[in-house]
Amino acid sequence: MLAYILRRLLMIVPTLFGIMLISFAIIQIVPGGPVERMVAQLSGAASGGGGDFGGGGQNFDGGASQYRGSQGLDPAFIESLRKQYGFDKPAPERFWLMIKNYVTFNFGQSYFRDTPVLELIKEKLPVSISIGVWVMLLSYAISIPLGIRKAVKDGSFFDAWTSAVIIIGYAIPGFTLGILLITLFAGSAFWQIFPNARLVSDNWSELSLWGKVADYAWHMTLPLIAMSVSAFATLTMLTKNSFLDEIRKQYVLTARMKGLSERRVLYGHVFRNAMLIVISGFPAAFIGALFANSLLIEQTFSLDGLGLLNYNSILNRDYPVVLASIYILSLLGLFINLVSDLIYMLVDPRIDFEAREV
C-alpha cells in the first residue's frame, strides 16, 4: 500500500509538468496578449479583451509592437511593458522560471489587478468551495438512496415516474433553471423570498452562530437547487444501473438462497461491488462541481467565485491568474484521484494495490 502511494505521488510530478507545458504552449499562440491589451487601452484603440488584436500575444520584433494601436507610442515604453510582463525573455526561459516559482506556490502578481495571484484565488475560493462541496454532497445523498430504490423497484410505477422527473431535470440547464428561480423567488415579478446575490448578508459578522448558519443557507438555497438538479440525475441513473448489473449476478442469487434478508443482500453484498463505479466518478464530480460548472451559476446569481475570476482573467489576458488556477486545479485533481483509489480499498478489500502497476 505504501509503495503504491509513493509511486502515485511521484507520478504527479511529470503529469503536472506536462499539463503546465501544454497550457503554457497554448497561451503562446492565443491571439492578443497583456502587452497588446495595455497598448490598446493606452492608445484608445480598443476596450475589449483581444478580439481585434492582429497577432499572437508575444509577437514582438525588437522593441516595436506589431499591434497597429501602438503607433504613436514611444518604442521604449513598449519595451518597458514587455519587460514588466516578462515578455523580454524567450518562452523556454519564462516557462522554466514559472515552474520554479510554482513549486513554492509563488504565482506572482496579477497583470491588471496589482494583487498577488494567490491572494486573489484565496479570496474567491470560498465561494466556489461552498457551491461545489454542497452540490456534491447533496447529489450523492440524494442519488445513491434513490438509485438503489429504483434498482430494487425496477419496472414499477415508482421507477417510471422518478425516471421521468430525472430526465426532465437533466434536460434543464442549470443557468436556465437559475434564471427561472430568480424570477419566481428572488425578483420583483413574483415573490421576494430569497436573495439573488452574494454568499452572505452584509450584517453576517454581527449575527449569532445559528443566525450565520441560517443566513448562509438562505443565500445558498437557489444556487444549490440550480446546480444539483442536473447533477443528481446522472448519478442516480449510474447508481441504478450499477446495482441492477450486480443484482442479476449469481452470487446474489446464492445469498438469497441461503436465507439472507433483502437488506442484508443489498447492503452486505451488492453495495460494495456496485459502488465501485460510482466512486470512480467521484474525482470528476468533485472537480466539476467545484470549478467547471460554477461559472454560469456564479454569473447568474452574482456570486464572485473562482469560475468568474478565471473567465474574466481569460478575457483580460491575465495569464498569471489563468495558469495559477490551472496549476492548483490540476494538482487538486491528481490528489483526489489518489484518494479515490484509496476509497476503493475501503469499499472492496479484495483490491490489492501492491499488485497493481501505476
pLDDT digits (tens, 9 = 90+) for 320-330: 888 998 898 88
Domain boundary among 64, 90, 116: 116
> For 8, phi and psi rounded to 5 degrees?
-65, -40
CA 255 to chain centre: 41
* Nearest one of 167, 155, 345, 166 to 247, comparing CA atoms: 155
Instruction: Quote the CA–CA distance of 25 and 326 in Å, as a whole number.
Output: 13
CA angle 241, 244, 247 (to 5 degrees): 155
Q: In this structure, are 143 and 290 located in the same domain?
A: yes
pLDDT at 113: 79
Residues 6+ away with beta carbon under 8 Å from 306: 121, 124, 125, 127, 128, 291, 294, 325
Q: Which residues have C-beta within 8 Å of that of residue 91, sequence separation ≥ 6?
A: 24, 28, 58
| Cβ neighbours of residue 23 closer than 8 Å, sequence gap 6 or more | 323, 326
Greatest mean pLDDT among 2-16, 123-137, 334-348 lies in 2-16
Domain that residue 24 falls in = 2-116
Check: CB of residue 109 under 8 Å from CB of residue 116. Answer: yes
CA triple 289-295-298, angle to 5 deg: 100
User: Could you please report the per-residue DSSP string of 37-62?
Assistant: HHHHHHHTS--SSSTT--SBTT-EET
pLDDT at 294: 66
Q: Please, what is the Cα angle at 68 between 64 and 71, to 5 degrees?
A: 60
Q: Specify whether 286 is located in the same domain as 225.
A: yes
In this structure, the answer to whether residues 133 and 271 fall within a common structural domain is yes
Alpha-helical regions (H) of 248-318: 250-257, 262-265, 271-280, 282-287, 294-300, 306-315
Q: Are residues 276 and 146 in the same domain?
A: yes
Question: How would residue 338 be classed by pLDDT, with cut points 50, 70 and 90?
Answer: confident
Last residue of a domain, one of 62, 84, 116: 116
Please identify which residue in the block is written with the cell numbers 491528481: 334
* Count of CB atoms situated within 10 Å of the CB of 175: 18
What pLDDT, on the 0 to 100 scale, is given for residue 55? 39
Question: Per DSSP, what are the bridge partners of residue 31?
Answer: 56
Q: Are residues 33 and 144 in the same domain?
A: no
pLDDT at 22: 93
pLDDT at 205 over 50: yes
Q: What is the pLDDT of residue 45?
A: 45
Query: Mean pLDDT throughout 308-318?
Result: 83
Which grid coordinates belong to 159? 421507477
78 & 187 share domain = no
Residue 56 has pLDDT above 50, yes or no: no
Q: Please provide the average confidence, as pLDDT, over all residues in the chain.
A: 78
Instruction: Render the burial of 15-46: b for 16+ CB within 10 Å, e for the rest.
Output: bbeebbeeebeebeeeebbbbbbbbbeeeebb
Show the cell assigned to 119.
491572494
CA distance 296 to 56: 28
pLDDT interval class at 44 (50, 70, 90): low
Rounded distance between C-alpha atoms, residue 62 and residue 204, angstroms: 54
Q: Is the pLDDT of residue 332 over 80?
A: yes
- For residues 29 and 163, membership in a common domain is answered with no
Q: Do 262 and 136 share a domain, yes or no?
A: yes
Residue 25 half-sphere exposure toward CB, CA atoms < 13 A: 6
Do 40 and 143 share a domain, yes or no? no
314 pLDDT above the threshold of 70? yes
Do 125 and 67 lie in one domain? The reply is no
The residue from 101, 116, 131 where one domain ends is: 116
pLDDT band of residue 161 (cuts 50, 70, 90) is very high
Which neighbouring-strand residues pair with 116? 109
Same domain, residue pair 36 and 124: no
Residues 203, 325, single domain; the answer is yes
Residue 1's H or E segment, with its range, is none
Residues 186-210 have a mean pLDDT of 80
User: Distance (Å, rounded) from C-alpha 262 to C-alpha 248?
Assistant: 14
Q: How many domains does the chain have?
A: 2
Find, among 63, 15, 17, the residue nearest to 334 by Cα: 15
> CATH number of the domain that 300 lies in?
1.10.3720.10
Torsion angle of C-alpha atoms 336, 337, 343, 347, degrees rounded to 10: 140
Q: Which of 248, 279, 281 lies closest to 344, judged by CA?
A: 279
pLDDT, residue 131, reads 80
